[in-house]
Amino acid sequence: MNQEQKLVLAKLIRQQRWAALATVDAEGQPLAAMVAYAFNEDSSAFYIHVSQLSQHTKHMLAQPRISLVIGEPDIGGGDPQTLPRVSIGGVVEVLQRDSEAYLRAKAKYLNRLPDSEQLFGFGDFILFQLIPESLRFVGGFAQAHSLSAKTLAECSKLSLGE
């Protein structure tokens, strides 16, 4: 994966906030659902804040192995299959409310999603941490790369010239 592709990946993760989650139910059937996400400095953890009333939350509590796909939105012209996207596979764990890890993650989350602050006051919401294990980045048509969490960490350090 060249430097240009790494920049595309870094920009993708930083610019988006809304992604799709794949979970499995008790029968092993998949569910795709939309979730907001945030992440820490080196992208070694992603944060998802969801209600226990949602199916995907119940799935994650029972089967913590999930996949999250972050994609650049389609603007409605051209072929969307050329748009960059990354699938992040890994395991989620619940951050215990008001633990240090929870408060750090909450701060990261609210920095990106300030309008969702009230949800942290709701008793049914859980803050999950996803630790990336396997990543598949598609930088454009027929430009797919498998990458490690280490490469993702390198990408997270790149300056986007913002």
Residue whose C-alpha is closest to residue 132's, from 151, 111, 159: 151
Among 52, 81, 99, 143, binds its own copies (CB under 8 A): 81
Question: Which two three-digit tokens encode residue 28?
Answer: 């092993």
Binding mask 34-73 for its own copies (x = CB under 8 A): x-x-----------------xx---------xxxxx-x-x
Binding mask 1-20 for its own copies (x = CB under 8 A): --------------xxxxxx
CB 100 to its own copies: min, Å: 26
- Separation in Å, CA 6 to CA 11, 12, 84, 133, 140: 9, 10, 11, 17, 13
How far is residue 142's CA from residue 12's CA, in Å, rounded to a whole number? 18
What spatial distance separates the first Cα and last Cα of the chain, rounded to whole Å? 22
Among 13, 23, 126, 137, binds its own copies (CB under 8 A): 23
Residue 74 binding its own copies, by CB under 8 A: yes
How far is residue 97's CA from residue 127's CA, in Å, rounded to a whole number? 8
Chain residues that interact with its own copies, rule: CB under 8 A? 15-24, 28-34, 36, 54-55, 65-69, 71, 73-74, 76, 78-81, 83, 85, 87, 89, 113, 115-116, 119, 136, 138, 144
